[in-house]
Amino acid sequence: MPDSNCYEILCLEYQDTALYGEAIQIIQERNLCWLRPLALLQQTQQERALPILYDLRQGSDLLCPHTLIRTALDTEVLPILAQLENLKASCATPVPEPVAHQQLQAFIRKICQAQPDAFRPMHPSS
């Protein structure tokens, strides 16, 4: 299990997509992490195209299997946070919130289908 602390930025990756979120609580006995999503970064299939960034800061928290996440590197997180703030400050039209959350749901569904054992409940030993 990765060594994570509360309020660290963590990353959950699958295929061409990465979910970045803040660790709110690590629940060791259940192998879960309470994660507050910040952004979903989706690589595009087109050559030289920039990844799509979905702002998830206004959404719901998630419980994720701790075994599927890793601590995000500062060098990957800082540019994402800067882009989120630039979206907020600029006149550019961001991806609508419902679309961003649909993408998050689709991403989580893919992970659940690909890693079903990680989502089975752990029963603490008595």
Residue 126: predicted pLDDT: 44
Measured in degrees and rounded to the nearest 5, phi and psi for residue 97 equal: -55, -45
Give the predicted TM-score (pTM) of the model: 0.85
pLDDT-derived band at 93, boundaries 50, 70, 90: low
Query: For 101-119, what is each residue's pLDDT tens digit?
Result: 999 999 999 999 998 888 7
pLDDT-derived band at 49, boundaries 50, 70, 90: confident
Residue 24: predicted pLDDT: 93
Q: What residues contact 24, with CB distance under 8 A and at least 6 apart?
A: 6, 7, 34, 35, 36, 61
What is the rounded distance in angstroms from the CA atom of residue 122 to the CA atom of residue 48? 43
Q: What is the mean pLDDT of residues 29-55?
A: 89
Residue 38 near residue 57, CB atoms below 8 Å: yes
Rounded to 5°, the CA angle 102-103-104 comes to: 90
| Residue 7: count of CB within 10 angstroms of its CB | 10
Here the tokens at position 123 are 């029963």
Q: What is the mean pLDDT of residues 51-67?
A: 91
Closest to 35 in 3D by CA, of 58, 66, 74, 72: 66
